[in-house]
Structure formats: structure tokens, C-alpha cells
Structure 1
Amino acid sequence: MLRVRKRDGRLEEFSRAKIVRTCLRAGASKKIAEKVAEEVEKRIYDGITTDEVLELVIELLFELKYEKAERYDLKRSLIRLG
């Protein structure tokens, strides 16, 4: 079982459904969302942070030439500002 480290330090079981949901909220199709989730599952490791997961999702959306990925890249930038 892979776990993701939340911002508050808690560990939570990795949820593929959350990756799909994030992609869908960004406007990706179900097909793209599933493809991203599949690739994220291959690349993550136990204890990865939610920020690292989000960064990976954005990177994969860009790789798939998904134009709306900029929307979540902006979210990542705003998170870094605090």
C-alpha cells in the first residue's frame, strides 16, 4: 500500500480516484484522466508529498499536450506563494 504525505504531515493511502477527479476538475477527458492516473501510479513511492503528486499530474498533462494544464500550474504557483 502506497501512502501520500499530506501538508500537515499525516500519511494517507494513495487514491487513484483522487488523481482522476483532479484531472477531470481541470477539464481533462476521462480518457486523459485515466492515462494520467495510470502513469502517476507507476511513478510514485511511499511517502511522496501531495505537492510532488500535483507536480507530477501537471507534468503529465503537459506531456499529453493538454492545454488546460496551465490552470493547475497556476494553482501550484499560488500554493508556493503561501
Structure 2
Amino acid sequence: MIAIDGWGVPLIGNFPIYRISHDYFTHWSSALLGGGIESFYADPAVEHLELWRSPQTTKGWWIHQTSTGLKTATPTTARTFIQNVFNSLN
């Protein structure tokens, strides 16, 4: 499941969960209800509609873990993050 701006929604399940947030605060606070495997948050923050309308220009951070378990933040766009999620499911 890819949760786009799913703030306040518990993200629990026995399947991969990926979160996309329009700002850091939403990213941080929604993680309290379920972190997911990987996530993305916009930086600088954008309006909700901007994230939906223009993921290709929404810049931010892809939060993931390396193969050694190190939590890493990589700069990217929301579109690239979503493409990477779909590619990893194949």
C-alpha cells in the first residue's frame, strides 16, 4: 500500500507499506501510527494538492534502510520515489 498524505490513518498490515507526506511534521507525526518500509516527505513542504498534481516537481527525501540496516535519507522527487516502489515490487 502507498499512503499519500495518510496523516492520522493507522498503517498496519502484513504487506509492504510506503508513506508519502507533504511535509516533515506530517511525516514524523504519522510515523507514530505505523512507519512503513520506506517513505518520502517533501522538503520544502508543499500543499497537499501540489503533491498530487505535480509529484515530478515535488522534491524531498526518500527514507530507507541500507542492506546493513543503516537508516538513510536520499534526495529525490515524489515521482521517482513512487517509481522506485513499483519497480521494487516486480
TM-score tier, shorter chain, comes to 0.3 to 0.5
Q: Which has the higher strand share?
A: 2
Q: What is the TM-score normalised by the length of structure 2?
A: 0.32
Tell me: higher relative CO, structure 1 or 2? Use CA pairs within 8 A at least 6 residues apart.
Answer: 1
